[in-house]
Structure 1
Amino acid sequence: MLFDDTYKTISAHSEGTYRDKGSKFIAFAYPIKSNEEVKDILQKLRSEHPKARHFCWALRLSPDRSIFRIQDDGEPSGTAGRPILNTMLSANLTDLLIVVVRYFGGTLLGVPGLINAYKTAAAESIKESKIIEKTVNDIYEIRFDYLVMNDVMKLVKDEQLTILDQDFDNSCMMKLEIRKSELNAILGKIEKMESIQIKYLFTA
């Protein structure tokens, strides 16, 4: 199979801590789905840690792991965001944001010390998290007559499809999650049924 339709992320928020020469680095890992979530998370952390000096972070998004952003937040360039991102790359995780909150301890750590601190704190937060594997799924909407309801329900049961939404009246609607690698086979079966309209919505 050419397309790898699985990816790894974390199931829930986790934390890890690293200390060096009086400085404290607290890493907060969050499973996220979009860039937009970052702002609220940062605001929350800044209000919870008003005395912290730096809020450095990295994120990686999308099942193909192609989207990433890094932020050094006042630390020397390349000493914070990049090492945080590298820990995600090593663990092969995506749909993830890690923010490392630094309390300055009065002693400068130097570039190698900073890189090690941010990398280690981020790795600790990953170590404390539960890593889960997800599949890449396409979301489809199907509309059909009530008369073919039994056929549709049998297909859903046989193929173990997830129903995200449904509305049954004279005309019925169902939103289904279909795993990418099984898409062609399942769509083929749906298309063979009578009076069914299929519409692609998005990929999750």
Structure 2
Amino acid sequence: MRKAYKILYREGTGELIEKKSRFIASFRPVKTEEEAQAFIEEMRKKYWDASHNCYAWVLGENGEGKRCSDDGEPSQTAGKPMLDVLEGEGIVNICVVVTRYFGGTLLGTGGLVRAYSGAVKEGLKACTVLTLVPAKKLLIDTDYNGSGKIQYLLSRQNIAILNSDYTERVIFTALVPDEEMLKLQADITEATGGKAKLEVSGCVYYSMLEKEVLLFPEL
């Protein structure tokens, strides 16, 4: 059964200062380990003079691909706390690099954990994260008498209409979340007396961004 999940859609950066040490969190949407590694190398070159460039990534619809690195910091004080934040937020297809410029004061293990995880949380505020909802494209073929009833049903259930084709008959292409499909099909059949023809034309994931419908293929 498909389920909704969250992805990093637009990258961002955030910064945190802790006892004069500077922590810069940089994010990038990634789909493969190769893309994640390329981003990490890019950040290492950009911040070549930094004390550390620690990273974490989560890949796959279920977050099955994951990795993190302390990059020279004490074990479990950087990469793992960063990864914990990403997993706690439930975001996948994401890579974060936290760059540290040492400020001259040791933070201790607890301080490092708070600083690295805090930098990730701060950086996420500047990113765009989307929730992708599993849905199907439903073709609804109806006569003109039934079109008004169908539009009312779709509007009442907040179902997006991707396309409307008015010829001898009316054909709507609706974007229906998986969990609402059976109910909507039953409602349309009842409202039109079984005259509307229904056909599922494909499976996608979708999200809303400022009232815009964004479609995504299955992973």
- 1:130 positional shift: 1.7
| 1:124–1:158 CA distance, 2 compared to 1 (3 A) | same
- 1:5 positional shift: 2.2
| 1:190–1:8 CA distance, 2 compared to 1 (3 A) | closer
Shift >4 Å, 4+ stretches:
179-183, 188-191
User: Larger relative contact order (C-alpha < 8 A, sep ≥ 6)?
Assistant: 1
Aligned residues: 160
1:62-81 pair list within 5 angstroms: 62-81=60-79
1:29-178 pair list within 5 angstroms: 29-135=27-133, 158-160=173-175
| 1:190–1:20 CA distance, 2 compared to 1 (3 A) | closer
Gaps in structure 2 of 5+ consecutive residues:
137-168, 182-197, 202-216
- 1:135 positional shift: 3.7
- 1:45 positional shift: 1.2
RMSD, aligned α-carbons: 3.1
8 Å CA contact 1:63–1:136 kept in 2: the answer is no
Q: Taking every aligned residue pair, what percent have the same amino acid on both sides?
A: 32
Deviations 1:172-198 (Å, cap 9, x if unpaired)? xxxxxxx87799xxxx9579xxxxxxx
8 Å CA contact 2:135–2:175 kept in 1: the answer is no
Q: Secondary structure at the match of 1:50?
A: coil
Question: Whose Rg is larger?
Answer: 2
Deviations 1:135-173 (Å, cap 9, x if unpaired)? 4589xxxxxxxxxxxxxxx9x962559xxxxxxxxxxxx
8 Å CA contact 2:77–2:109 kept in 1: the answer is yes
8 Å CA contact 2:4–2:133 kept in 1: the answer is yes
2: CA distance, partners of 1:129 / 1:9 = 10
8 Å CA contact 2:27–2:96 kept in 1: the answer is yes
Partner of 1:18: 16
Gaps in structure 1 of 5+ consecutive residues:
139-153, 162-178, 192-201
Normalising to structure 1: TM-score of the pair? 0.67
Q: Secondary structure at the match of 2:92?
A: coil
Q: Secondary structure at the match of 1:16?
A: strand
- 1:107 positional shift: 1.4
2: CA distance, partners of 1:115 / 1:158 = 49
